[in-house]
Structure 1
């Protein structure tokens, strides 16, 4: 007996929300894992397909049920880049809102092996087993493949500094030019600071500059508020850093900080951040933010430092 799978798909820019339901009219396990009909593409960058594997547990459940015990089901995922995404690095993120499972992938040009996305239970509702709507949010981002990890600790061929008063963060010109069009243009023109092997950065802290270096060389963002890094990315035309900062801000926003983040986007003329919040923020979070603004607490939680 086959597993009946139904989908409801909602596209929102580089995101896809997929709700699926399962109906199973047998007590016997599937003889082989069943692949859901069809495949889905997201922003013409990634193709995905789902697989459902249902097995009866080897041991009898210890819980006593008033009806038939639930049957476990595992959801697996396989992805590949589309033709449009083959010349860029495509990152793929999956969030199951019900189970809070978050997984991230780097997509390849061919179908990946099946990777477990999560587990659920088919519950018996006469005359069949069902799994009610499970919503999964898929998000894709693309970036150029730039890596300078091997040079992070290098001191022999360092040829530039990001300067802030008495503090300096040593970097390589090639790394700056690869990440920033503005620095690239500086290095090919007559620029006093550039010729002296440094550029003075105003309006940033030494810690922020160190985070910028970590991102350029290692591709990682810190677990702190990245708004100062976003402003730096805009000032120095660092498109990948800008996109990744916006993604992190949207993914980590809470209802109590939503209003201030929107204010930040408007004050600094960052329509991409505003639009990303429109795409990703749930109706529940918007309502909670509205209620808090209407009845503010005595002390508003502070963002991460």
Structure 2
């Protein structure tokens, strides 16, 4: 009888499901993983594979975990050329992925003494398949605590300022509390920033502060300017922003920015970014990298061919 097993790997913000299927020739055309799969305690899923014309077609069923906040949970599924985003709610949805064409990791013959075939042992052909499915769940702030657009536009009640050399952005202290324990400690104690009603955030531009405000109030990440925003998240211990920026940067990695992103992850101690880059970087990008740049100091760069 065909058998299936599962191994989990956590690669930065992505959970990789690695299925090992041993299929005996002549067995039924479908096989299911019988145990419920949970990802980040936000969604639950089950997976079924149909064997059609010597290929496996995966079907993934998923929905939110019980007790998760009311908003739909964004989930991105990627495998073997397939990549789409879905929104999990309280009801099961089923996603059909692309067929896995060349998944066979080995083929072996073994003896089977099943007397249903005959009175003597028979050689039975079995094939082992390794199938990988990547699941990225974007944890979002519960709806009940997410500042609405009206609050974002209510400049009259804003009681704090984020300041940098080229501009200032007004915000609410309460919104800062939601996103960072460091901000909360800073503004609820007798610190300089609390007394002055502003914090000086050197080394970034006012545009990055605007991106930060858009994220805190509306949950929006920019298409450009993610790297300085990630630095802010790392410096002020904004864990969710750090994870979301890392996930989006990993998706945009290429041969031109890979060295810079790895250096960024190491400098600001962002392990989820480094792990995501290491495990998710396509082979084509690795092949394009013909040298390694190592910063020895601000004015010296050593290149190794």
TM-score calculated relative to the size of structure 1: 0.67
Distance 1:92 1:273 in 2: 19
Partner of 2:301: none
Aligned-pair RMSD on alpha carbons?
4.3
Structure 2 CA distance, aligned partners of 1:92 and 1:78?
10
Residues 245-283 of structure 1, C-alpha deviations (whole Å, 9 max, x = no match): 1222222212432222112222333334223333x3247
Task: Give 1:209 deviation, angstroms.
Answer: 0.5
Whether 1:138 and 2:135 are equivalent positions in the alignment is: yes
1:95 aligns with 2:92: no
Does structure 2 conserve the Cα–Cα contact (< 8 Å) formed by 1:81 and 1:90?
A: no
Deviation at 1:214, TM superposition (A): 0.5
Structure holding more strand per residue: 2
Residues 92 and 138, structure 1, Cα contact 8 Å, conserved in 2: yes
> Helix, strand or coil: the match of 1:156?
helix
CA contact (8 A) 1:254 1:285 kept: no
Residue 204 of structure 1: SS of its match in structure 2?
A: coil
Contact map agreement 2:20 2:131 (CA 8 A) in 1: yes
Equivalence for 1:240: 240
Corresponding residue of 1:189: 189
Specify the alignment match of 1:149 in structure 2. 148
- 1:250 and 2:268 aligned: no
Question: Do the aligned partners of residues 270 and 121 (structure 1) sit closer, same or farther apart at CA in structure 2, a change above 3 Å counting?
Answer: closer
Gaps of 5+ in 2: 103-126, 294-305
Distance in 2 separating the partners of 1:74 and 1:95:
12
1:43, CA displacement in angstroms?
5.1
Aligned length: 264
Report which stretch shifted further, 35-44 or 160-169: 35-44
Identify the match of residue 40 of structure 1 among 37, 41, 57: 37
Unaligned runs of 5+ in 1: 56-68, 124-129, 296-305
- Whether contact under 8 Å (2:82, 2:97) holds in the other structure is no
What's the counterpart of residue 63 of structure 2? 79
Q: TM-score with structure 2 length normalisation?
A: 0.67
Q: CA 1:186 to 1:115, structure 2 compared with 1: closer, same or farther past 3 Å?
A: same
Residues 71 and 231 of structure 1: CA distance in aligned 2, closer, same or farther (over 3 Å): closer
